[in-house]
Structure 1
Amino acid sequence: MKLISWNVNGLRAVVKKDFQSIVDQLDADVISIQETKLHQDQIDLELPGYHQYFYDAERKGYSGTAIFTREEPINVTRGLGIDELDTEGRTLTLEFPKFYLIDSYSPNSQQELKRLDFRMQYDDALRGYMQRLSEDKPVVLCGDLNVAHEEIDIKNDKTNHKNPGFSDEERNKFSELLDSGFIDTFRYMHLDEVKYSWWSYRFNARKNNAGWRIDYFVISNNGKDMISKADILNDIFGSDHCPIELDLNL
Structure 2
Amino acid sequence: MKLISWNIDSLNAALTSDSNRALLTRATLQKVIALKPDVIAIQETKLSVKGLTSKHIEVITQLAPNYNYAWRSSVEPARKGYAGTLFFYLKTLEEPKVTFPEIGAPTTMDAEGRIITLEFDNLFVTQVYTPNAGNKLERLADRQVWDQKYADYLAELDKTKPVLAVGDFNVAHHEIDLAHPDRNHMSAGFTDEERVGFTHLLSRGFTDAFRHVHGDVEGVYSWWAQRVRTSKVNNSGWRIDYTIVSDRIADKVTKAEMIDSGTRQDHTPIEIEIAE
Which TM bucket (shorter chain)? Answer: over 0.9
Secondary structure of 2:52's counterpart equals: helix
Shift of 1:13: 2.3
1:204 to 222, 230, 238: 230
Secondary structure of 1:175's counterpart equals: helix
Q: TM-score, normalised by structure 1?
A: 0.94
Shift of 1:81: 4.4
Q: How many residue pairs align between the two structures?
A: 250
Q: Structure 1 residues 125, 83: closer, same or farther in 2, change over 3 A?
A: closer
2:73 to 39, 52, 56: 56
Structure 2 equivalent of residue 77 of structure 1: 99
Structure 1 equivalent of residue 52 of structure 2: 41
Kindly, what percent of the aligned residue pairs are identical? Answer: 40
Shift of 1:207: 1.1
Q: What code does the residue aligned with 1:62 have?
A: Y
Structure 1 equivalent of residue 18 of structure 2: none
**Residues 1-250 of structure 1 aligned to structure 2 (within 5 Å):** 1-15=1-15, 16-17=22-23, 18-19=26-27, 21-39=30-48, 40-42=51-53, 43-44=56-57, 45-46=60-61, 47-58=64-75, 59-70=79-90, 71-82=93-104, 84=106, 85-194=109-218, 195-201=220-226, 202-236=228-262, 238=264, 240-250=266-276
Secondary structure of 1:92's counterpart equals: strand
Q: RMSD value over aligned CA atoms?
A: 1.7
Q: What code does the residue aligned with 1:11 have?
A: L
Shift of 1:210: 0.3
Tell me how far apart the structure 2 counterparts of residues 116 and 30 of structure 1 sit (CA, whole Å): 31
Q: What code does the residue aligned with 1:210 have?
A: S
User: Deviations 1:62-95 (Å, cap 9, x if unpaired)?
Assistant: 1000010002543111022437531000011011
Q: What code does the residue aligned with 1:142 have?
A: V
Tell me how far apart the structure 2 counterparts of residues 183 and 14 of structure 1 sit (CA, whole Å): 32
Shift of 1:162: 1.7
Q: Structure 1 residues 135, 66: closer, same or farther in 2, change over 3 A?
A: same
Tell me how far apart the structure 1 counterparts of residues 191 and 103 of structure 2 sit (CA, whole Å): 27
Q: What code does the residue aligned with 1:197 have?
A: S
Q: Contact 1:185–1:219 at 8 Å: present in 2 too?
A: yes
Shift of 1:120: 1.1
For structure 2, the residue ranges without an aligned partner over 5 or more in a row are 16-21
Q: Contact 1:79–1:89 at 8 Å: present in 2 too?
A: no
Tell me how far apart the structure 2 counterparts of residues 76 and 239 of structure 1 sit (CA, whole Å): 31
Shift of 1:228: 1.2
Q: TM-score, normalised by structure 2?
A: 0.86
Q: Contact 1:76–1:92 at 8 Å: present in 2 too?
A: yes
Q: Contact 1:14–1:238 at 8 Å: present in 2 too?
A: no
Shift of 1:234: 3.0
Q: Structure 1 residues 53, 237: closer, same or farther in 2, change over 3 A?
A: farther
Shift of 1:235: 4.1
Tell me how far apart the structure 2 counterparts of residues 236 and 6 of structure 1 sit (CA, whole Å): 14
Q: Contact 2:178–2:238 at 8 Å: present in 1 too?
A: yes
Tell me how far apart the structure 1 counterparts of residues 105 and 135 of structure 2 sit (CA, whole Å): 25
Tell me how far apart the structure 2 counterparts of residues 165 and 81 of structure 1 sit (CA, whole Å): 21
Secondary structure of 1:86's counterpart equals: helix
Q: Structure 1 residues 226, 234: closer, same or farther in 2, change over 3 A?
A: same
For structure 1, the residue ranges without an aligned partner over 5 or more in a row are none
Structure 1 equivalent of residue 19 of structure 2: none
